[in-house]
A and B are shown apart, each in its own frame.
Chain A
């Protein structure tokens, strides 16, 4: 067989099962686009490379498979970086193919030359700079293998233009890259783990994105039920347990439920599954579950002991470890422990907010109850995100998409779009804020073009709300650079892009507008003007112990 490097990339992507790729062309990717022209792969032209990166993430986060985006050299590649860093911190599998200036010009400050390899190195799981077209035969399958193996992550393949046009002759196609086998060494850890669970009086499951990524949600529920172990979750773990499961105590940490934080402090054994002791979760580390023994299960061995020493480290993915530990777990009810937890569940202001139809939490719960049972919800970053984490009735893994680690404003709209491309029969809801919404606004053009079934709910508080809240609470109410003195007409903007828009009235009082927007098949926006001074509670001050929860103003 003979073909050029660009054709080889495209054929290898086809063989990899890739049906869709997001990107924007440019000088250094023209050969690649010429090869795509002749390919059944669907190319979605986004309006910004960050949008392309996040759309690929939307597909990857909902399917668990590596999704592909592409950008040209220089500004195309730099525009991708935020989406790559975001995928890196949240362990999302993706492969980004970037064009590079011809090898002969590399290092000469050529037009649109940037050191993509150097720039993406710290924000990817791995990156390749391809020097010869024949290397693509190994690099492309390797990129997918790396992205999907063990702890998933983003991989960049930087391909100079002359490598794209260079002819390659080869006899045989390489096998598509598949995730490597799950690493597992027992050496007695399971027996020790079972023994610790048996001896524990007050065990807790502390679960994160690793449970969702490994497909371990059903196993978690079985283990929790069988042995009567309550579950708390990180932001990334939401959906691993249904929000209304009696054994689920909600999210823990900075904006977690009081009962989750209080119960963690009383536990004598923490079974940490696919989590990384993030500072937003633990609060002051020395005070976090100080008296409890910790079993830390993670597919990434370097997470074990990175922040908190584990009494027992178990290197394996959550699903595998749960499968193996389940038969060794006794059937238990743990009535005493559940009674103790029940006594910690006092009626809290946050719980009352969810019941208040005019509080943002109540509005979000309403939306969740109105949206189809299998809807996927993506959020942006800020107060609306925290209210969604607290109040949205999340029922299934991979149905709540949030930028957890990087906390990237502008995440919501393009990720919702990627989810819609990957799940064309599902309703996608994007809950955003008036700050975040403007950060990838240009993708509304792409959204209108493809008529995706997305309802954007814009919680318009006229502020960078989460910043304003912190200024109020921790900086003597010095509200600075967080209030918009003038706001655009969001409905008119949406309509200008060709998207239907509704106004839900102050604090969502006009519920029929919300209902109509949600029922609309296609892209829709509903603006929900909310009070500009409402805060998210509870809140643990940054750096404080999780027991120091501020419950209300």
Chain B
């Protein structure tokens, strides 16, 4: 089940996506979807990552928090995957 949304505030620069996806790849975490957009003057971005919930979610949050480019990490319980999928549909056409 992809039922967890991880919300990140990150420094916005061309390498930041590699920092995030690189962590998922090398630590063998799953990543099912990404939404990202710049915030304010563009110095920061907000990212929403859709993941399968498993016993490693807590470890994932800790690892994400360690990244220099990650300013904050939270799990959005109020924004379920259905909202997320809906957003995807809207972006797709």
Q: Do A and B come from one complex?
A: yes
| A interface with B by C-beta (< 8 Å) | 117-118, 121-122, 125-127, 129, 146, 300-302, 305-306
Can you list 27 A-B pairs with a CB-CB distance of less than 8 A? A117-B15, A117-B18, A118-B18, A121-B15, A121-B18, A121-B19, A121-B22, A122-B22, A122-B26, A125-B68, A126-B67, A126-B68, A126-B69, A127-B15, A129-B15, A146-B68, A300-B66, A301-B62, A301-B65, A302-B59, A302-B62, A302-B63, A302-B65, A302-B66, A305-B58, A305-B59, A306-B59
Q: Contacts of B22 on A, CB cut-off 8 Å?
A: 121-122
Total A-B contacts with CB atoms under 8 angstroms apart: 27
Q: Contacts of B66 on A, CB cut-off 8 Å?
A: 300, 302
Main secondary structure of the interface of B (DSSP, over half): helix
Closest to B64 in A: A302
Please measure, in the bound complex, the distance between the C-alpha atom of A127 and the C-alpha atom of B19, giving whole angstroms. 10
| B interface with A by C-beta (< 8 Å) | 15, 18-19, 22, 26, 58-59, 62-63, 65-69
Closest to B19 in A: A121
Please measure, in the bound complex, the distance between the C-alpha atom of A127 and the C-alpha atom of B22, giving whole angstroms. 13
CB distance from B21 to the nearest CB of A (A): 10
Q: Contacts of B26 on A, CB cut-off 8 Å?
A: 122
Closest to A309 in B: B55
Q: Contacts of B15 on A, CB cut-off 8 Å?
A: 117, 121, 127, 129
Please measure, in the bound complex, the distance between the C-alpha atom of A318 and the C-alpha atom of B51, giving whole angstroms. 34
Closest to B61 in A: A302
Q: Contacts of A302 on B, CB cut-off 8 Å?
A: 59, 62-63, 65-66
Closest to B23 in A: A122
Please measure, in the bound complex, the distance between the C-alpha atom of A127 and the C-alpha atom of B66, giving whole angstroms. 13
Q: Contacts of A121 on B, CB cut-off 8 Å?
A: 15, 18-19, 22
CB distance from B71 to the nearest CB of A (A): 14
Q: Contacts of A117 on B, CB cut-off 8 Å?
A: 15, 18
Please measure, in the bound complex, the distance between the C-alpha atom of A197 and the C-alpha atom of B19, giving whole angstroms. 40
A-B residue pairs, 3 tightest by C-beta: A302-B62, A126-B68, A122-B26
Closest to A151 in B: B66
Please measure, in the bound complex, the distance between the C-alpha atom of A80 and the C-alpha atom of B10, giving whole angstroms. 28
Q: Contacts of B62 on A, CB cut-off 8 Å?
A: 301-302
Closest to A126 in B: B68
Q: Contacts of A300 on B, CB cut-off 8 Å?
A: 66
Please measure, in the bound complex, the distance between the C-alpha atom of A121 and the C-alpha atom of B18, giving whole angstroms. 8
Please measure, in the bound complex, the distance between the C-alpha atom of A127 and the C-alpha atom of B26, giving whole angstroms. 16
Q: Contacts of B68 on A, CB cut-off 8 Å?
A: 125-126, 146
CB distance from A419 to the nearest CB of B (A): 29
Q: Contacts of B69 on A, CB cut-off 8 Å?
A: 126
Closest to A304 in B: B62
Q: Contacts of B63 on A, CB cut-off 8 Å?
A: 302
CB distance from B63 to the nearest CB of A (A): 5
Please measure, in the bound complex, the distance between the C-alpha atom of A126 and the C-alpha atom of B65, giving whole angstroms. 13
Please measure, in the bound complex, the distance between the C-alpha atom of A305 and the C-alpha atom of B67, giving whole angstroms. 18
CB distance from B29 to the nearest CB of A (A): 12
Closest to A315 in B: B62
Closest to A303 in B: B62
Please measure, in the bound complex, the distance between the C-alpha atom of A122 and the C-alpha atom of B66, giving whole angstroms. 13
CB distance from B83 to the nearest CB of A (A): 29
Please measure, in the bound complex, the distance between the C-alpha atom of A127 and the C-alpha atom of B59, giving whole angstroms. 22
CB distance from B65 to the nearest CB of A (A): 8
Closest to A127 in B: B15
Q: Contacts of B67 on A, CB cut-off 8 Å?
A: 126
Q: Contacts of A129 on B, CB cut-off 8 Å?
A: 15
Please measure, in the bound complex, the distance between the C-alpha atom of A306 and the C-alpha atom of B62, giving whole angstroms. 10
CB distance from B16 to the nearest CB of A (A): 11
CB distance from B76 to the nearest CB of A (A): 21
Please measure, in the bound complex, the distance between the C-alpha atom of A113 and the C-alpha atom of B93, giving whole angstroms. 39
Q: Contacts of A118 on B, CB cut-off 8 Å?
A: 18
CB distance from A34 to the nearest CB of B (A): 28
CB distance from B60 to the nearest CB of A (A): 9
Closest to A306 in B: B59
Please measure, in the bound complex, the distance between the C-alpha atom of A129 and the C-alpha atom of B66, giving whole angstroms. 19
Q: A121-B18, A305-B59 are known contacts; what are 16 more A-B pairs with Cβ within 8 Å?
A: A117-B15, A121-B15, A121-B19, A122-B22, A122-B26, A125-B68, A126-B69, A129-B15, A146-B68, A300-B66, A301-B62, A302-B59, A302-B62, A302-B65, A302-B66, A306-B59
Closest to A158 in B: B15
Please measure, in the bound complex, the distance between the C-alpha atom of A306 and the C-alpha atom of B58, giving whole angstroms. 9
Most buried by B among A121, A125, A300: A121
